[in-house]
Each structure stands twice: as structure tokens, then as C-alpha cells.
Amino acid sequence: MKKGSFLLLLTALIWGMAFVAQSTAMDHIGPWTFNCLRSVLACLALFLLLPFLHKITHTTGMAYDRKKTWIGGIVTGCFLAMASQFQQMGIMTTTVGKAGFITALYVVFVPLLGLFTGKKPAKKIWLCTALAVAGLYFLCMNESLRLTSGDTLVLICALLFAGHIMAVDAFRDGTDPLVLSCIQFGVMALICAIGMVCTEKPVTADIKAASIPILYAGLMSSCAGYTMQIIGQKDTDPALASLLMSLESAFAALGGWVILHQTLSPRELLGCALTFSAVIIVQLPQRKGDRA
């Protein structure tokens, strides 16, 4: 497995554990406040770690296009801010299971958007996308798929996350992924701070009560997860990247089974199996003579 694919799988694992944190935080603070604080924390942590991370990734002194990196950071930051905000607002009025399934539909939106940008996915990608969606349905959906207002917000979030994946792909060449990620968190923090000031009145006691979810979302889901996404996508096709990251739903279910001793029904086990199968198949080398 390529290094990029491994990083994206690790990203999915981290994100898979984040849905509960995102949901519990809403018991104490609003979505704008949560996203503002998590992105401020991510930006500061990554900024402080930049010299160390550049050293271990052997990118110290690397020549890169500063203008393109700044533009990329601003564009990806806008997509990430709005996608995260729609997701948080949706989670407030829908179940975590439905939110996980609908969010992961970016696995469908990415290859569709690729058609409009000249990135025609291989036939194998479409097969694996269908397998992944079926797996996600069995894994996450135990209720009606009839869309509520919260479900609609999460569906918009899935489209915006697909846009974020495509934006990362567009700016992957000639940029410093670590600096770009730091900039995107700063942009997200600024956008969410404006929303927080205009619509919410955060109280220190409430922020303290939500400190654990904020810390996890800021340091792990945001700082580590989204930065590894950008690095991982450096040498990974966006459609393949979306398939790998869609495993976040399966990892969330498996994490609940291993850590919280929650049981997995046969339906959920089938969902995990189908989703993992899609990722395994898409990683298999293509035979010579096969058409893309």
C-alpha cells in the first residue's frame, strides 16, 4: 500500500472516532463556537509543530509556490468551514448514524465532480463506489431514509466535503501541504468566529464542559486528520481518496465495538464487510490490457 493510501486510512480511523465528540459537544455549545475553537486549536498546534513536521517529512527548505499555497489554503479553508458547519447543524437535528451515512456520500460526489473537471474515474472506481455506498447504508441506516431538515443540511455538507477533496487535489502540486493546511485552519477559524459572534453567545463554563470533544476535534480530527488528508492526497487520485476516507463510518462502528463493547448486528457486520471490500478491490493492481 502506498504511503498516501496509508495516511488516508489513518485519517478515516481518526475521523471515525470524531462523530460522538461532535455530537456531545452540541450539548454545551453551538456549532459556530465548536468549529471556531477546534480550528483555532488546530491552526495553533500545527503552526507550532511546523519546524518539527518539516524535518521528519524531509521538506525543510523545500521550494514551493507561496502564492499558490496561500490561495489553496484560502479555498480549502472556505470549503472546510462551510462543510463542517453544515455537518454540525445537521447533527443537532438528525441521528449520528444517518449523519455518518449521508456525510460519506462524498464517495459518490467526488467521481461525479471529477467528470466535470476532466478526471474520468476508472471503471473499477464506480464498482467500488457502489459497493461502498451499499456498505455504508447497511452500516449506518437503521431508520427511514426520508430526508428531514437535518438530513438535508448533512447532504449539503457531503457535497461541500467533496468540493474540499477536489480543491485539495487541485492545489496538491507545487505547494507545501503543511503550510496549506495551517492556512486552511486559520481561514476556517476566521469564518466560524464571525458566525459565532453574530449568532451565538458562548459562555466560559459551557466551553469548559465541552473541552474534551473540542480537544479531540481540534488536535486529532482537524490538525492530524485534515493535514494527513492533504499529504495523503499528494499522490492519490481524488476518487480513490474519497473511497479510503469513507471508511470513517466503518471505523466508527468498529471502535464502538472494541472500545465501548457495543454489539454489531449482522446487518452492520455486512456493511463493514462491503465497505472494506470496496477499499481492498480498488487497491488491487489493474491487469495489463484492462481499460480504465
Q: What is the distance between the alpha carbons of residues 94 and 117, in angstroms, rounded to a whole number?
A: 33
pLDDT for 194 equals: 96
Contact 99, 247 (CB under 8 A): no
Mean pLDDT for the stretch of residues 175-180: 92
Q: What is the distance between the alpha carbons of residues 212 and 215, in angstroms, rounded to a whole number?
A: 5
Indicate the DSSP class of residue 287.
P
| 84 vs 21: which has the higher pLDDT | 84
What are 14-40's pLDDT values in tens digits?
887 776 777 778 889 999 999 999 999
Q: What is the distance between the alpha carbons of residues 175 and 279, in angstroms, rounded to a whole number?
A: 28
DSSP characters for 169-206?
HHT-SSS-HHHHHHHHHHHHHHHHHHHHHHH----HHH
Which cell goes with 42?
Answer: 488546530
Smallest Cα–Cα separation from 100: which of 109, 90, 108, 110? 90
Q: What is the distance between the alpha carbons of residues 154 and 158, in angstroms, rounded to a whole number?
A: 6
Q: What is the distance between the alpha carbons of residues 196 and 209, in angstroms, rounded to a whole number?
A: 18
Rounded to the nearest integer, the mean pLDDT of the chain is: 83
Which cell goes with 74?
Answer: 484560502
Buried/exposed code over 35-60 (b: 16+ C-beta within 10 A; e: otherwise): bbbbbbbbbbbbbebbeebbeeeebe
What are 115-135's pLDDT values in tens digits?
777 777 777 778 888 887 888
Lowest mean pLDDT among 12-16, 156-160, 172-176, 258-262: 258-262
What Å distances lie between residue 6 and 26, 162, 218, 229, 266, CA to CA? 31, 20, 21, 10, 28
pLDDT for 290 equals: 45
Name the region of 201 (left: φ>0; alpha: ψ -120 to 50; beta: rest): beta
What is the pLDDT confidence band of residue 173, given thresholds at 50, 70 and 90? confident
Q: What is the distance between the alpha carbons of residues 12 and 8, in angstroms, rounded to a whole number?
A: 6
Q: What percent of the chain has pLDDT over 70?
A: 85
| 21 vs 259: which has the higher pLDDT | 21
What is the pLDDT confidence band of residue 288, given thresholds at 50, 70 and 90? very low
**pLDDT above 70: residue 287:** no
Contact 100, 256 (CB under 8 A): no
What are 217-256's pLDDT values in tens digits?
999 989 999 999 998 888 888 878 888 887 777 777 676 6
Q: What is the distance between the alpha carbons of residues 36 and 51, in angstroms, rounded to a whole number?
A: 25
What Å distances lie between residue 83 and 4, 27, 278, CA to CA? 23, 20, 25
pLDDT for 22 equals: 73
Contact 185, 77 (CB under 8 A): yes
**pLDDT above 70: residue 1:** no
The distance between the two most distant Cα atoms of the chain, rounded to a whole number of Å, is 63
What are 43-57's pLDDT values in tens digits?
999 999 999 988 887
